[in-house]
Chains A and B, each alone.
Chain A
């Protein structure tokens, strides 16, 4: 009994610890940036009597970007956790669903259509360069089409995990090829824009993006949390899940749909950030074990922390030029992950 209690007590340490880290990074990062703010200035701004400049920097630039990076990280890592449980494959990540590459294709096509050379498409160009929204819409449409395509092709009286994975790989390969072809048609400036989007970067950091995503994400995460037990059972395998009284096919469909929705939200806001969805669930599993009641929140928090840190590093490491956050995630996350692999 004592062991059980000890375990139960200890299980709270990890989420709380990660949460504390997130808050700490959050507080520190409020001070950092092109405009350096002192502790006092930040405090003044929050207590309602800051200068207009500090208010602007904090409320319009740093806070929304921070919140967005936290949300994207949480989305991707929860989606990754779901994918790994549903497909029972440790190297599955949300990218398998085709949303990332579909969205990438959508955005690359948009960039090509709005480039300086294609004079015929002036209206599209104006619309495309005026609002960041256009990229989000292109990303969303592309991602949705790709996900539907993969689902339709993998459907054969149900979705068998292995079939879903292989179909996902095949469709992703075609989308990747299309992206390469289109990218090679571009001039250098557009190529860079596309490359940066594909590597993932949080470019549309404003309150409307945050507010658009927030209710959506909170709702999804809440629903998914209540599916934790189902994820536990699904991970055991179809036969066991079925004999445990689970309607496997239906639950799998719902979970995949939710993973797709989360990934879509994240990709629309942050571009092709690839590695979080694979990495965060594994780190979380090393820290708290395989039970999804604990794994889901911890992996969400770790994903959020990872992306938050990466965004800060990407902003400052080579300032004034920014490194796409997706690259920083990999550069920071992979060594830690390798360390975990070596340790256990």
Chain B
């Protein structure tokens, strides 16, 4: 993949020094925005650790994180409940946002989000089967079932894309994903209604990150890391594809390979997110739109930006789930929709027609 202009001899006539200066000044704004996002994310993480039914001073919270003692109940709550929960929220948000950004870039469709590839519905089906036929499973094993389901869903979609005659065009990928997703989702609902587990399934999927344990986090760490690294490796190509496919192809990009790589990254990231937190609607759609406003169209900044702002969105929403109606938790997908919709509406109305 030779996609770097200036390195493959096509752009010798442009002075490399001026190009570098231009690139650097262009990079400044996205960098600043991402850094600001990181700061806000850190602040809200602290707030997330600190808020809940069980109150303690900020010093207590700090002690709980840095000097863990199993005999102090407050420290235990922070360390065993709030910390994994906060990390899970951040990771899930980052996962969904990055895979949403990839999906929108690769398919060049503003409506694309990770759930469209059949990921969510695949894992719903697996969960429905699990709940219907092996109701005694632990959360930990349900998580794996859900991840496998997500994998099967995306696997089917990629296979369909690859085996269609004219290759994997974005529209075909989206349509295959939607068809597959609807098929799997409908099977899941039919099974859930027939075996009377629909309500449990709905609870699981309305979901949230409450009750996430350390070993669940550990189990999904590899998927998260590989997914993000893959996304970053693909960033440059995705930028080109998102602007114009013909140009990307003309520059020697292997579209099929990039799309498959992208789909694998989406699978890993969304699969991890869904199996930890259920179907969180909307984050994957919203955050990329927001990032495009804030850091521009270059996916080398879009992807880290999406990760930071996705994490921020979910951490903040997760704080609200605890505050709206204590001691009950509001499903986090409800909050992402309520927080996200106005932002998306604003973006949509700001865009010139």
Q: Do A and B interact? A: yes
> Which of A66-74, A160-168, A223-231 has 4 or more CB atoms under 8 Å from chain B?
A160-168
Whether B206 pairs with A180 at a CB distance below 8 angstroms is: yes
CA distance A220 to B314 in the complex (A): 44
Q: Does B185 contact A (CB under 8 A)?
A: yes
B351 touches A173 (CB 8 A): no
| A330 interface hit (Cβ, 8 Å) | yes
**A17-25, A35-43, A258-266, A318-326: which lies at the interface:** A318-326
Number of interface residues of B (CB under 8 A): 53
Bound complex: CA of A176 vs CA of B333, how far in Å?
10
What is the predominant secondary structure among interface residues of chain B facing chain A?
helix
* B183 in contact (CB, < 8 A): yes
A342, closest chain B residue (CB): B164
Known: A153-B345, A158-B353, A170-B348. A278 touches B178 (CB 8 A): yes
- Residues of chain A contacted by B174 (CB below 8 angstroms): 90-91
Contact check, A335 vs B334: say whether CB atoms are below 8 A apart: no
CB-CB contacts below 8 Å: B192-206 with A: 192-194, 198-199, 202-203, 206
Q: How big is the A interface, by class?
A: 35 or more
Known: A173-B341, A331-B190, A341-B179. A156 touches B185 (CB 8 A): no
For residue A129, CB closer than 8 A to chain B, the reply is no
Structural contact, A91 and B348, CB atoms closer than 8 A: no
Q: Is the CB of A156 within 8 A of B353?
A: yes
Q: Which residues from chain A contact B199 at a C-beta distance below 8 Å? A: 188, 191-192
- Expressed in whole angstroms, the Cα–Cα distance for A158 and B178 within the complex equals 29
Q: A90-B174, A191-B198, A335-B183 are in contact. Are A174 and B110 (CB under 8 A)?
A: no
Is A344 close to B, CB under 8 A? yes
Q: B207 to nearest A CB, angstroms?
A: 10
User: B165 and A330: CB pair below 8 A?
Assistant: no
Contact A167:B348 (CB < 8 A) given known A90-B171, A177-B333, A342-B164? yes
Check A337 against B330 for contact (C-beta < 8 Å): no
Please give, as numbers and ranges, the residues of chain B lying within 8 Å of A327 by CB-CB distance: 186-187, 189-190
Q: Which residue of B171, B179, B189, B341 contacts A170 across the interface (Cβ within 8 Å)? A: B341
Tell me whether B334 and A180 are in contact (CB under 8 A): yes
| Chain B residues within 8 Å of A330, by CB | 182-183, 185-186
- A-B CB contact pairs (8 Å), 18 listed: A162-B351, A167-B345, A169-B344, A171-B345, A173-B285, A177-B281, A177-B333, A177-B334, A177-B337, A192-B198, A275-B186, A324-B193, A327-B187, A331-B190, A334-B186, A338-B180, A341-B175, A342-B163
A contact set with B: CB distance below 8 Å: 89-92, 153-154, 156-158, 160, 162-163, 165-167, 169-171, 173-174, 176-178, 180-181, 183-184, 188, 191-192, 195-196, 199, 274-275, 278-279, 282, 318, 321, 323-324, 326-331, 333-335, 337-338, 341-344
